[in-house]
Structure 1
Amino acid sequence: MQDDDIVRMANQIAQFFSAYPEEDAVEGVRDHMVKFWPPSMRKDLLVVANGLVPSETTLHPLVLKAAAQLRPSGQDDS
């Protein structure tokens, strides 16, 4: 999957949860990614979030905070 696609999808999730209080929004974004994204997509997101590959689109701040709570190995609890 292309990095810009990952960013677009992650930002859509963050936009949905942006109406929630910040702590709940970050948890919602993270939980969605853990439940519905395969480990390979979460790994790709972490690569982008950590600035290891350039992306034309910036990540929503909620995505960055949620990504910081994801385990790099992609072995998150579901």
Structure 2
Amino acid sequence: MQLEKLIKMANDISDFFNSESDKELAAEGIKNHIKRSWDPRMRNQIIAYCQEDGKDLNALAQKAVQKLAS
């Protein structure tokens, strides 16, 4: 899948969870959503992107992907 589409999807998911006042809980929700819904290749691609650069992911999406990587 194109990386740009994965970035947009991750940012869209984080926009949904951003209404949660507890940002740790929001990041955990994003992580769980990606873990349940995304193909392993998609997850690996967004993790690699976040570890290499990640500049186009918003801060909450970055936090969630970092949690996903660990």
Cα RMSD (Å) of the superposition?
A: 1.8
Cα distance, 1:7 vs structure 2? 0.1
The residue number in structure 1 matching 2:60 is: 62
SS at match of 2:67: coil
Matched-pair identity in %: 32
Kindly name which structure, 1 or 2, has the bigger radius of gyration based on alpha carbons: 1
Q: If the length of structure 1 is used for normalisation, what is the TM-score?
A: 0.79
Per-residue deviation, 1:38: 1.1
> 1:23: Cα distance to partner?
1.2
Matches within 5 A, 1:10-29: 10-20=10-20, 21-29=22-30
- The amino acid of 1:40's aligned partner reads R
Deviations 1:4-32 (A, max 9, x none): 00000000000000010201110110000
Gaps of 5+ in 2: none
Question: How many pairs align?
Answer: 69
Give the stretch that moved more between structures: 58-67 or 8-17.
58-67
Query: Following the alignment from structure 2 to structure 1, what is the Cα–Cα distance between the partners of residues 37 and 52?
Result: 23
Counterpart code for 1:41: M
